[in-house]
Amino acid sequence: MGTADIESPCIKVCAVSGATGLCLGCGRTLSEIGGWAAMTADERQAIMRELPARLSSASPARDKSSQR
């Protein structure tokens, strides 16, 4: 399997929150993003299962900052 075949949550919105350390697009940390291709499929799947909760918990802070 080549790197083009690796499933990724990236949506090409790459901006990391200083408050949470998470990418605002996909919910991963910089360490996770940088190591993504070297991770096993099981490691990537474990992270991907966590992403919806990470993004939803970060959303209220993001919504407040956009109301300024």
Query: Would you place residue 9 in the very low, low, confident or very high pLDDT band (cuts 50, 70, 90)?
Result: very high
* pLDDT reading at 4 higher than 70: no
Q: pLDDT for 12-55, tens place per residue?
A: 999 999 999 999 999 999 999 999 999 999 999 999 999 999 99
For the chain, first and last CA: distance in Å? 46
Which pLDDT score, from 0 to 100, does residue 47 have? 98
C-alpha dihedral, 11 to 13 to 16 to 20, nearest 10°? -60
